[in-house]
């Protein structure tokens, strides 16, 4: 829960900066800033070992760039407004599903604040579409997390099964070796046959579990 709050606050700050940036003198250097941000992202993905930190930085950079592109090309009437739809889905997959809600609310508030007083409902339709897409973004994020957990559990279960079977096989091989080294007659031969049969069953069980 703590990570979700921190990520939400960081993205709210990012969105705020994205709306204020076009009104500053730095707006004319937008291409250079984009290039610097992509270089930072490239270096971060290459050298930052923490997966969550890399995803957060990636989310912040893409949020800033996409919102800035939309705001500098017409806002609600921007031909690139559809990029915000992809942003919502991307954030729910990169971070937590609930992030799509905070992002949508922040975007709606800032677009309404920056819109003209007598803005027509028709021009606000793209803004309302963000709210309708949010549940789908959350659903996709939750399904992605569930899929990742099931994949991790399956992998862990296979590793545990392989470890367990390998230990048993080693034990049976040890019994066979002892029986061969001390081979006298039918008793040792019976031990070898039993160990071989058990090993065959364990191998078949392991192959069927894949």
Residue 50 pLDDT grade (very low, low, confident, very high; cuts 50, 70, 90): low
* Pair 10, 60: CB distance under 8 Å: yes
Report d(CA 114, CA 126) in Å as an integer. Answer: 15
Please check whether residue 64 is in contact with residue 18, taking contact to mean a CB–CB distance below 8 angstroms: yes
The per-residue pLDDT for 188 is: 57
Nearest Cα to Cα of residue 157 among 168, 149, 146: 149
| Cβ-Cβ contacts under 8 Å for 189 (sequence gap 6 or more) | 179, 183
Cα–Cα distance, 156 to 57 (Å, whole number): 29
pLDDT, tens only, 61-101: 889 988 988 888 888 888 888 889 888 888 888 888 888 88
Q: Dihedral of CA 145/146/147/148: which sign?
A: positive
């Amino acid at each position: 829960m703590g990570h979700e709050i921190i990520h939400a606050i960081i993205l709210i700050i990012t969105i705020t900066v994205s709306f204020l940036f076009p009104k500053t003198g730095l707006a004319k250097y937008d291409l250079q800033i984009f290039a610097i941000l992509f270089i930072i992202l490239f270096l971060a993905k290459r050298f930052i070992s923490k997966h969550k930190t890399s995803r957060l930085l990636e989310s912040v950079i893409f949020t800033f760039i996409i919102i800035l592109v939309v705001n500098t090309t017409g806002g609600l009437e921007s031909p690139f407004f559809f990029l915000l739809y992809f942003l919502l889905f991307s954030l729910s997959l990169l971070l937590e599903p609930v992030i799509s809600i905070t992002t949508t609310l922040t975007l709606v508030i800032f677009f309404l604040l920056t819109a003209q007083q007598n803005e027509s409902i028709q021009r606000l339709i793209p803004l309302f579409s963000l709210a309708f897409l949010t549940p789908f973004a959350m659903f996709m994020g939750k399904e992605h997390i569930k899929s990742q957990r099931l994949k991790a559990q399956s992998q862990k279960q296979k590793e545990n099964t392989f470890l367990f079977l390998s230990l048993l096989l080693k034990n049976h091989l040890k019994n066979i070796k002892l029986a061969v080294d001390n081979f006298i007659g039918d008793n040792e031969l019976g031990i070898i046959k039993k160990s071989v049969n058990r090993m065959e069953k364990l191998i078949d069980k392991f192959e069927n579990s894949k």
